[in-house]
Structures are given as C-alpha cells and as structure tokens.
Amino acid sequence: MQRFGTDEWVGIERHGFVAELVMDRPKAMNAVSTAMADALSEACAELAADRSVRAVVLTSTHERAFCVGADLKERNSFTDADLLRQRPHTRAAYAGVLELPMPTLAAVHGFALGGGFELALACDLIVADETAVVGLPEVSVGVIPGGGGTQLLPRRVGAARAAELIFTARRVPAAEAVTLGLVDRLVADGQDRAEALELAAGIARNSPVGLRAAKRAMRLGHGLDLRAGLELEDGAWRSVAFSGDRAEGVAAFNEKRHPQWPGE
C-alpha cells in the first residue's frame, strides 16, 4: 500500500482499475487533524493525476468509525491564529475528495460525523452498513459545517431536510439515513467496504473517458437552468464522441466482445 503521512496516514491500495483510499488514524477514530488533512490532500492529488484509476472507494480501517470529523483535541490548544492557519489545510483535504475526476464511493460504518460525514458527502455514492451513524453536529460546538456540508447536504436531500439536520445537530442511524437519502445503499454489518468495492469494480468496467465526462457534466450542471445544463452536457459529449474509447466501445459492441478501453 502506498502511504501518505507518518503517524497519521492515508493510504492508496490498488484493486485493478479501482483505487481504495484508506483512512488510518486509529487512535483518534480518523479525526481530521492538520497532518491527516495534508495526507488526504496528497493522496487525492496522486489519484486525480492517475489516468489508470477508473473509480475510487474511500474507506476506514477503524472498526467503530468512518471518521468522527475535526480533531477537537488538537483544536483545543489552538489560538485564533492557529485555527486560521489550519483552514487552508482542511479545505484542501475536503476539496481533494470532492474534485476527484473519477466516480468516488464512500464505504461508511460506525460514526461518520461532522467533517467525517462531509467526506462521505463529497463522494458520488455512499454505501453504509447497519452500524453507521451520520450527521452534521457542528452547531452544537459553536461552529458550522466547514467541509462542504452546508452546500452538499441540500443538494442531496433538499433545503428543508438539510436545514432540519444541520440546525438540530442530530445524529441519524443507518436505517433512517437510507430512508432520508443521506446514504444510497444499506448493507449488513461489516459489509460496507466489500459492497462498495464490488460496486466500484462494476463501474470501472465502463469507459474511463465516459465516466469522467459524465461526472463532470453532472457536477458542473447541478443548479444550472435546463438550457445551460444541456449546453454543458453537449460539451461533455463532444469531449468523448471523438475519443478512442468511443471508437472501441462501438467496435466491441458490434463484434460482441468486451471492450479494451484505451482511456483516451
């Protein structure tokens, strides 16, 4: 496994065309410290530049938590100046996950709270097991979601539902989370990673050029009016229509074989 960071590290493990982005800060349940944020940013930059990666799965090695959010123990010693200096580091970590150009899935078990849930929200799909507890409790400690939560949660569940969850700061158990649309798939205890990797492998069988263009069109088109969105979609279509992947896909279909994507 390729590692980023030292005592508080993030790793990349390859599974064919799928990359597993592994959070491993067990003593702190993957709380996002400055060092953890830097490791996550570095790992995401590595993945974003790797054209061989067709899908990413964000996982945790901790048995009882995906990620519990910001490291409040570290922040307890911060001055206002320290907190201000840390901000670019944490913003870069959340942006690193959000801006991955390939489909990205979160495999969630146990606690995914605050910044931990924001990391999951930055992914395209969230697979959770029955132990998952999610939420954005930041207002209960005098701050607001700062890793994208105020923007990503309304886009996922609607403004009113997001307002209720953020204003009450409540924790949502897995069974309710899937009903509310906070997670996309609910699986048996301990099966979140296996399910997410299997789903990612299925995604990765498709054209890498097509996957990236489709994600770009969906992400950038969100919130645009229909006419503008269709223009954006047309631009994404043009970026793949004359690609090697499109030619191979058509040829493979007509020759009744599996495509061998050139990825360009």
Q: Is 200 a catalytic residue?
A: no
CA distance 208 to 214: 10
Angstrom CA distances, 29 to 24, 70, 75, 190, stand at 8, 10, 16, 16
CA distance 50 to 123: 18
Q: Is 147 a catalytic residue?
A: no
CA distance 48 to 100: 5
Catalytic residue among 31, 70, 107, 200: 70
Map residue 68 onto helix, strand or coil: coil
- Please say whether the beta carbons of 170 and 153 come within 8 A: no
Q: Is 115 a catalytic residue?
A: yes
Q: Is 264 a catalytic residue?
A: no
Catalytic residue among 8, 20, 118, 195: 118
Catalytic residue among 96, 110, 115, 149: 115
Catalytic residue among 8, 138, 195, 233: 138
Long-range CB pairs of 159-167, under 8 A, 24+ apart, other chains included: 165/135, 165/136, 166/136, 166/138, 166/139, 167/139
List, by residue number, the catalytic residues: 70, 115, 118, 138
